A and B are shown apart, each in its own frame.
Chain A
Amino acid sequence: METNQFERVAEHQWRIEPRGDMRVPGIVYASEQLLRDMDQKVHEQVCNVASLPGIVKASYAMPDAHWGYGFPIGGVAAFDAGEGGVVSAGGVGFDISCGVRTLHTGLQRAELEPVKPRLADLLADIIPAGVGSKGRLRLNGAQMDAMLSGGAQWAVEQGYGLAADLERIEERGCMAGADPSAVSDHAKKRQRAEMGTLGSGNHYLEVQHVTAVYDPGTARVFGIRVGDVVVSIHCGSRGLGHQIGTEFLKAMVTAAPEHGLTLPDRELACAPIDSALGRSYLAAMRAGINCALANRQILTHLARQAFEQLVSNADLTLLYDVSHNTCKLEEHVLDGEKRSLYVHRKGATRAFGPDHTDIPAALRAVGQPVLVGGTMGTASYILTGTRDAEARSFGSACHGAGRSMSRHQATRKWRGQSVVSELAERGILVRSPSLRGVAEEAPGAYKDVAAVVDASDQAGLARKVAKLEPMVCVKG
């Protein structure tokens, strides 16, 4: 994008003055280079979101923003129900509550290296991944509803993982206000064989090691040291979430005229929070969040089984679990006044600062862990939320690298086998049922995640704590 469309209000803060139908300004957090590299569509989408009823303060884009559906990916926007505010299916996205969780292993890199190839094979065997894969778990109607109400808490009750895990998950593993009856039979049918599956595309399970610590004090509280081995899981609500997104997108587009909404783009489909459709979407979307939390909990259980088989002293405990496609009712202070707002984060991570009561007690002094996924050949990062982010972005930061190249271009540029071989030479073992999938996900098809993380840090959205590099990557 051209920088002259923005007013540069700070080194990493670019403002679009309200014009036309915009009710609030647009604000993009990025370095000059990241902003220049963003698609012009990001500008258009930030402005479109700014025009939606009941939006407060500003329409935001994070440093990893790219062209999304209605909302930019990397978009953050908050709405006040009392001011006619809306909830948008596109503002949450198809993969409801897609997110990242990171687990400690209690192991050092040197301990794991000798068993790395066997671990890679075992994880690939144990974790259902890719198109057509099935989970081992089948839920009947009552169990499905219990899962949609209970999330990771339900999964722990079923024997997947430990009660202590729940402390380290947003919402303590269970999103309140979920209503399984708001989820269609189609969505439930699509999920029947998908519990405990990883999916495909940019989803992964990685074994990583800590290669740098930037903030030793916070890292100590997080329990992270250079050389530590961790496991990170990136996936979401699988077919159920996708189906909820698909169905409500259509319902919201169709009902827009009767809600008096004129949409600049059909993807911005939304409904008043205070309407039957809005309430129904929120109830279904929250059930989708629970599905994602339960799914990551089951995958955690499977990862533990794999480690237990190979490394007797492994102890997989949860550092944290973040969701980056959500709409949540949160309290934020605006102009000195506490307000209850529906905060959409589409490809953005909640990043609450120190002392926030939603952060587990053990971490509260330093802020919420912000887990940012990279690519299988680069790095992932752990950051921590800041107090400033609450004023700057409703407590939100970046979520990943973001693509810089389409899948189509990537498959013309790389062959899956050579990507796998090159990474193996660097000590990174990739296991995937699809070589074309690997080519589409080649590290070079993504933006520089380090630049995204640095921009988030320098913009004051989150502070860098540690860098993680992959050892094993299981892809769908």
Chain B
Amino acid sequence: MQSWEHFPHEADMGVRGRGDSMVEAFAQAALALTAVVTDLTVVRPRQLITIHCQAPDPELLLADWLNALVFEMSSRRMLFVRFQVDIEDTRLTASAWGEPVDPARHHPAVEVKGATYTELRVAQEAGGHWVAQAVVDV
């Protein structure tokens, strides 16, 4: 079971991913991040980039992962729509597929400044599935 959603924050927006594993939940949270900016159905997975990050615990690793994507979106002016995440201990390696921002087609609503530690949570729920969430500053 994989899914993503947004949850409300007074000034900004929460991103939440769910999956059968932590890596699936991280990938779904990344989809929720892109969906803060634009409609996922209009982004095409045409270019691949690789991302590496490292943090002392899974929650800080999630924040790092989302922030690495924010950095790539901002510095490359791209949007990403497909993710393959691997986590080994404190290290994350991921592939992200996307394309350059095209304002005429993507109508990007808002840029994300960074992932925060507010409502930051990575956990395995009672039913066995994983949740990965954070509020992002826009």
Would A440 and B109 be within 8 Å (CB), given that A69-B116, A243-B71, A406-B9 are in contact? yes
Whether B41 is near chain A, meaning CB under 8 Å from some CB there, is no
The interface stretch among B18-26, B43-51, B59-67, B81-89 is B59-67
Partner of A407, one of B13, B71, B101, B118: B13
The distance from the CB of B90 to the nearest CB of chain A, in whole angstroms, is: 12
Q: Return the CB mask of A392-412 against B: 1 if under 8 Å, else 0.
A: 000000000011101111000
The A425-450 residues at the B interface (CB cut-off 8 A) are 433-437, 440
Shortest 7 CB-CB contacts between residues of A and residues of B: A132-B101, A131-B108, A406-B8, A436-B109, A242-B113, A266-B117, A246-B114
A136 surroundings in chain B (CB, below 8 A): none
Kindly identify, within residues 1 to 41 of chain B, every residue whose CB is under 8 Å from any CB belonging to chain A: 6-13, 37-38
Residue in B11, B71, B114 whose beta carbon sits within 8 Å of that of A68 in the complex: B11
Q: Which of A39, A265, A408, A434 is B108 in contact with, Cβ under 8 Å?
A: A434
A254: which B residues are within 8 A, CB to CB?
56, 60
Known A-B contacts A67-B9, A190-B71, A440-B110; the reply to A131 vs B101 at CB < 8 A is yes
Does residue B52 face the partner (Cβ distance < 8 Å to A)? no
Residues of B within 8 A of A68 (CB): 11
In the assembled complex, the CB of A389 is this many whole angstroms from the nearest CB of chain B, namely 24
> Pick the contact of A476 from B56, B64, B70, B111 — CB < 8 Å?
B111
Q: Which residues from chain B contact A402 at a C-beta distance below 8 Å?
A: 11
| Residues of the A chain whose Cβ atoms lie less than 8 Å from the Cβ of B102 | 132
CB contact list, B99-125 vs A, under 8 A? 100-103, 106-111, 113-118, 120
B67 and A433: CB pair below 8 A? no
Q: Residues of B contacting A433 with CB < 8 Å? A: 103, 107-108
Task: Check A407 against B138 for contact (C-beta < 8 Å).
Answer: yes
Interface residues of B (CB under 8 A from A): 6-13, 37-38, 55-56, 60, 63-64, 67, 70-71, 74-75, 77, 100-103, 106-111, 113-118, 120, 135, 137-138
Would you call B109 and A437 a contact (CB within 8 A)?
A: yes
Chain A residues near B107: list those with CB within 8 A: 433-436
Chain A min CB distance to B92 (Å): 14
Closest partner residue, chain A, to B10 (CB atom): A67
A378 CB to closest chain B CB (Å) equals 17
Nearest chain-B residue to A93 (Cβ)?
Answer: B137
Other than A434-B103, A476-B111, give 17 A-B pairs with Cβ distance below 8 A. Answer: A67-B11, A93-B137, A130-B103, A130-B111, A131-B103, A132-B102, A199-B111, A200-B138, A246-B115, A253-B117, A266-B117, A406-B9, A407-B12, A433-B103, A433-B108, A434-B109, A437-B109
Q: How far is the CA of A254 from the CA of B117 in the complex (A)?
A: 13
9 contacts between A and B (CB under 8 A): A131-B108, A131-B111, A189-B75, A201-B110, A242-B70, A250-B55, A406-B10, A434-B107, A434-B108
B91 to chain A, nearest CB (A): 15
Residue of B nearest to A41 (CB): B10
- The residue in chain A whose Cβ has the minimal distance to the Cβ of B104 is A433
Q: Are A403 and B13 in contact (CB under 8 A)?
A: no
Specify which of A133, A253, A403 is in contact with B60 (CB 8 Å cutoff).
A253
Assess whether A345 is interfacial by the CB under 8 Å rule. no
A190 touches B11 (CB 8 A): no
Is residue A66 contacting chain B, with contact meaning CB distance below 8 A? yes
B110 contacts across to A, CB distance below 8 A: 131, 200-201, 407, 434, 437, 440, 476
A200 and B111: CB pair below 8 A?
yes
A80 within 8 A of B: no
Expressed in whole angstroms, the Cα–Cα distance for A408 and B7 within the complex equals 8
Whether A69 and B118, one on each chain, are in contact in the complex, defined by CB atoms closer than 8 angstroms, is: yes
Complex interface: chain B residues within 8 A of A192 (CB): 75
B30 to chain A, nearest CB (A): 16
The smallest C-beta distance from B29 to any residue of chain A, in angstroms, reads 16
